Amino acid sequence: MSLDHTAEARRQIEICNACRYCEGYCAVFPAMTREKAFSDGDLTHLANLCHNCRGCYYACQYTEPHEFALNLPAALAEVRVESWERLIRPQSFARLFQRHGVAMTGLLVAMLAAFFWLLAALKPTSGEGFYAYLAHGTMVTIFVPAFVLPLALIAAALRRYWVEVDGGRVTWAHLRRALQDAAQLRNLSGGQGQGCNFEEGDRYSDRRRMAHHLMMYGFLLCFASTSSGTIMHYAFGWEAPYPLLSVPKLLGVPGGLMMVVGTVYLVWLKLKADPALGAPRVWGGEMAFVLLLGAVAATGLLLYAATGTGLQAPLLAIHLATVMTLFLLMPFSKMVHGFFRLAALVVEAKKSQKAPQGEMA
């Protein structure tokens, strides 16, 4: 745990707790008013509740050059990224990929090489659609562990998180509330639907929530598409390729399009936003991750469009390489924020039952 970042976040949170002007922006402030002193676990929890909307930066009367030098979005972003880097194992992977877009690109290139080789070396003698290039059994053998193992690493990290923030026992009601908040991105609404202060300085804008919605629901649709394909394959013996009017395609094509639009939108927002209000050292890693998501979606759509043409084989290799990179990086990239954030919302649903400090006087 970096003493510097935790100590700095604690210093700022203690100022906020004496002020509370930003209480209406997000869940972080009501959460902090429950305490007077903040353990490292409390800070980890608060940091994962913050989604860097920056409302509390532009509203703060104590930002630099004031000697209190508040920049809560940045302070919490540092602690947040650090909590992922600390709780995910192996930590060195997390540190490498959270920070460096170049490392991510390197992994992608390696995966590209691997899949071009695979397709050339293991070309099956029979099979339809994609399976004409790579047998179904081979794909399952490669992708199932690449999906399940990272998820197991994340699960282990969430357990550590739970201990660190003293999550305790949760009920269905807590889970339901957290899922509701996450589904609506309630906290990203700025408290009143006016949105963030992300890309336009002190003016509010709801664009980041829109972009995030496109990305998140696009991703979930694509995920549902793949899942439905798996079910159709194993439960009904209906094998790919699927026509346009089939469940996997009806979910996957709009999902993919949403992700592509979401990527362009998020990249544009990120370029306009002030990097000093986030964790600047992971800017590159975050940007690369957004682009990776976009690449997964775009190559998937292209692959579908290229059905039956000579481009199908190379596009398949490229698409599978992006998907593989995404899977492998789930614990080590910005992707992990989804899991931690949901966990934080569940913990908060439980903890928010306690009254704020100072209510008596």
Partner 1 sequence: MKDWPETFDIAIVGGGNAALCAAITAAEAGATVLILEAAPLPYRGGNSRHTRNFRCMHRGPLSVLIDSYEEEEYFHDLMLVTKGKTDEGLARMVIRASEACLPWMEAHGVRFQPSLSGTLSLGRTNAFFLGGGKALVNAYFNTATDLGVKVAYEAEVRHVHREADRITHLEVTVAGQPVTVRAKAFVLASGGFQADLDWLARAWGPSARNFLIRGTPYNRGVVLRDMLDQGAESVGDPTQCHAVAIDGRAPKFDGGIVTRLDCVPFSIVVNRDGERFHDEGEDVWPKRYAIWGRLVAAQPDQVGFSIIDSKAIDLFMPSVFPPIKADTIEGLASLMGLDPATLRRTVDGFNAACQPGTFHPTELDGLRTKGLNIPKTNWARPIDTAPFYGYQLRPGVTFTYLGLKVDDRARVHGTDGPIQNLWAAGEIMAGSILGQGYLAGFGMTIGTVFGRIAGKEAAAHVA
Whether omega before 150 lies within 30 degrees of 0, making that bond cis, reads no
Q: Confirm if 23 and 29 have CB atoms less than 8 A apart.
A: yes
* 8 A C-beta contact, residue 27 and residue 169: no
Residue 147 binds to ligand SF4 (criterion: CB under 6 A): no
- Residue 66 touches which of ligand SF4, partner 1, none (Cβ within 5-8 Å per kind): partner 1
Cβ of 90: how many Cβ atoms within 10 Å? 11
3-state class (DSSP) for residue 246: coil
9 binds ligand SF4 (CB under 6 A): no
Judged by CB under 6 A, the number of residues near ligand SF4 is: 24
User: Of 50, 88, 107, 158, which one interacts with ligand SF4 (CB under 6 A)?
Assistant: 50
Segment interacting with partner 1 (CB under 8 A) among 45-53, 60-68, 82-90, 256-264: 60-68
Distance between CA 121 and CA 142 in Å, rounded? 15
Q: Does 170 bind partner 1 (CB under 8 A)?
A: no
The residue within the footprint of ligand SF4, chosen from 22, 104, 326, 345 (CB under 6 A), is 22
Contact 50, 26 (CB under 8 A): yes
DSSP for 146-192? Answer: HHHHHHHHHHHHHHHHHHHTT-----HHHHHHHHHHHHHTGGGGTTT
Among 9, 43, 56, 88, binds ligand SF4 (CB under 6 A): 56
User: Residue 361 binds what, of partner 1, ligand SF4, none (CB under 5 to 8 Å, by partner type)?
Assistant: partner 1
What CA–CA distance (Å, rounded) separates 31 from 17? 10
Q: Indicate which single residue of 6, 44, 52, 226 sits in contact with ligand SF4 (rule: CB under 6 A).
A: 52
Type and span of the H or E element at 257: helix 247-272
Q: Binding ligand SF4 by CB under 6 A: which of 70, 178, 301, 316?
A: 70
Binding of residue 19 to ligand SF4 (CB under 6 A): yes
Give yes or no for a contact between 138 and 117, defined as CB atoms under 8 angstroms apart. no
Position among 66, 89, 159, 272 found at the interface with partner 1 (CB under 8 A)? 66
Q: Is 20 in the site for ligand SF4 (CB under 6 A)?
A: yes
What's the min distance (Å) between Cβ of 20 and ligand SF4?
A: 6
Return d(Cα 354, Cα 361) in angstroms, integer: 17
Site string for partner 1, 177-216 (x = CB under 8 A): --------------xx-x-------xx-------------
Q: Which of 9, 31, 43, 60 binds ligand SF4 (CB under 6 A)?
A: 60
Number of residues that bind partner 1 (CB under 8 A): 38
Rg (CA), the chain: 22
25-36: burial string, b at 16+ Cβ within 10 Å, e else: bbbbbbbbbebe
Contacts with ligand SF4, residue ranges (CB under 6 A): 15-16, 19-22, 25-26, 28, 50-56, 59-62, 70, 72-73, 76
Contacts with partner 1, residue ranges (CB under 8 A): 14-15, 17-25, 30, 33, 36, 55-56, 58-68, 191-192, 194, 202-203, 356-361
